[in-house]
A and B are shown apart, each in its own frame.
Chain A
Amino acid sequence: MELLRLLLRNALRHKLRSVLTVLGVSIAVMAFALLRTVVTAWHAGVDASAANRLITRHAISFVFPLPLAYKNRIEQVPGVERVTYAVWFSGVYIDKNQFFARLAVDSETFFDLYPEFVIDKEQFEAFRRERNACVIGIDLVRRYNLKIGDIMNVEGDAFPGQWEFVVRAIYRPRDQTVDPANMLFHYNYVQERVRQEMPQRSGLVGWYIERISKSANPADVSEAVDGLFENSHAETKTETERAFQQNFLSSASAVITAMNVMSFVIIGIILLVVGNTMIMSARERTHEYAVLKALGFSWPQLFFLIAGESFILSLAGSALGLLVTFPAVQGFRSALPKGWFPIFYIKPETIVFGCAAGLFVGLAASIIPMRRILNTRIVEGLRHVG
């Protein structure tokens, strides 16, 4: 008879209580992982940010455009390797519930700065040749059952009118952190109509993106770029892509903080669930532990029995919870409006964190019962009626 066998039998001694504890832990771990996944999705843009890219926008607000003429001047700044630009096109595809980014980009330079959008060479050439062509992410292909040659009709709002784009290329994200649901088309195509219908808005871009050299200091380059346009009618604010994405998140920071706090509150709840079970179990077995102590069992052996049982319950619950998280995340994603979170996946860190939480809870939940058992004198334990 090994001590492990006694541990396992103790863990299953009150089957209903053990099952309920494991279920309680698994539900809490699932909720924890789901919350972490939502927080991850919110931070996806930040995570995908490249360290060598800067974003230059209007100093007052992102919604104000910048002159296209800035491009040549930015290119002259030491440390800047390449510059591209983009415009937030917005618009409505099918209906207003279809969320995905629709951007007018400089097709000659944009994809050079964003190698994470992996496009077949031939498809890319076809896109470059056709003025109303567009590149779409693989997620849009799946979501709307699109293929090369299909027409996508977008009703303009920021750029009013009916816009027709032909799908000529499909990009695949290089990794899970890259948004697979963008629609990108030629800035020049948009400008053609803007010049005719809204001439006052021609020659403007939403923001610039600069790729800087490895040796360049982002802060110095940012300062130099903004210095170029100081006291102009459109002053700029340049920052790293990460800082730019984080600014986007700042509006939702309270919600994200609340979710972060909640995810750790859940760890506390798991601790209470397992701790309660362990305290009850240890109390009921005070007499038995006293017998073991009388027989000569040492505190490490008793610790193995108590903490081991706690570990088994919390790890079983964590494993089950993480297993259930995968379908839960899929269900959550499908319940949201299409494209709400284009990047929505369980990060390996979430799994590791879930397991670590299980281990921590297993250990922490055994501390109180362990202390009680060790501090109970054998003669008192033998008198105890559980």
Chain B
Amino acid sequence: MGQKYTSAIHEVGSVTERPFIEIRNLSKSYRRDSFEIPVLRNISFVVAEGDFVAFMGPSGSGKTTLLNLIAGLDKPTEGRILIAGTDITELNETELAVWRSRIVGFIFQFYNLIPVLTAVENVELPLMLTPLAKKERRAHAETALRIVGLGDRTQHYPRQLSGGQEQRVAIARAIATDPAILVADEPTGDLDKASAEEVLELMDRLNRELRKTILMVTHDPRAAEKARSVRNLEKGELI
């Protein structure tokens, strides 16, 4: 992965016209006691490979639910989600777990690092699901940390890092397995302005230089500006 990154980092990214993510008539509702609460209603759209899409909308509009469905963390009530030709709605839990580990990298609002593991160990976590040997895993994790500018913080624990640095470790973890898609749920929501800018800059580079398809949920218009396209949701519908 190290070589791939170093060579790819100089490439200039582009968006292909071919639909990479295809959402068809997607609906999701939750059941609370005897009530059916619709969260997403009949959503359809496509995302091209290498695109950077920001989902915006008020709280409760269904942004995070949509992101979770596309990332295979949750199952829709109706509709289909085709990603690189695979209908993930037809996968069972085990298949979905394997699919996620290969295709999706996660960036969460609160970083979600394991506090008892160092930065490099946190980045190594998803690599444990690959057939890589121990040394190779470590090399990949260190490369990922260098890409996010934390090559000198490999042995630091999350508590020894700033919020911005923690989020960059989380980004390194997300790209460690070289996934095709990065999903980011409010990646700057817990950061100060400067750190948020750094993280957005990094995501922009990952999109342009490594051609990662990025789906980002955000409330922040400045974050959305970094995306190539913005989709707005309201009351579970795309507007």
Contact = CB atoms under 8 A, between A and B. Distances in A.
A1 B117 CA distance: 9
Interface residues of B, number: 29
A294 interface: yes
Contacts of A377: 74
A10 B116 contact: yes
B114 A6 contact: yes
Interface in A70-116: none
Interface stretch (B9-17, B46-54, B121-129, B189-197): B121-129
Given A295-B129, A377-B74, A382 B114 contact: no
A379 B68 contact: yes
Interface stretch (B96-104, B198-206, B224-232): B96-104
A287 interface: yes
A293 interface: yes
A298 interface: yes
Nearest to A5: B121
A378 interface: yes
Interface residues on A, range: 20 to 34
A385 B57 CA distance: 24
A13 B116 contact: yes
B112 A296 contact: no
Contacts of B116: 6, 9-10, 13
Interface SS of B by simple majority: helix
Contacts of B97: 293, 296-298
A382 B108 contact: yes
Nearest to B99: A296
B106 interface: yes
Contacts of B100: 294-296
8 A-B pairs closest in CB distance: A296-B101, A9-B116, A1-B121, A1-B124, A291-B112, A378-B73, A296-B97, A296-B100
26 contacts: A1-B121, A1-B125, A1-B137, A2-B128, A2-B134, A6-B114, A9-B116, A13-B115, A287-B112, A291-B108, A291-B112, A294-B100, A294-B106, A295-B101, A296-B98, A296-B100, A296-B126, A297-B129, A298-B97, A377-B74, A378-B68, A378-B73, A378-B74, A379-B65, A379-B74, A382-B112
Interface of A: 1-3, 5-6, 9-10, 13, 287-288, 291-298, 377-379, 382
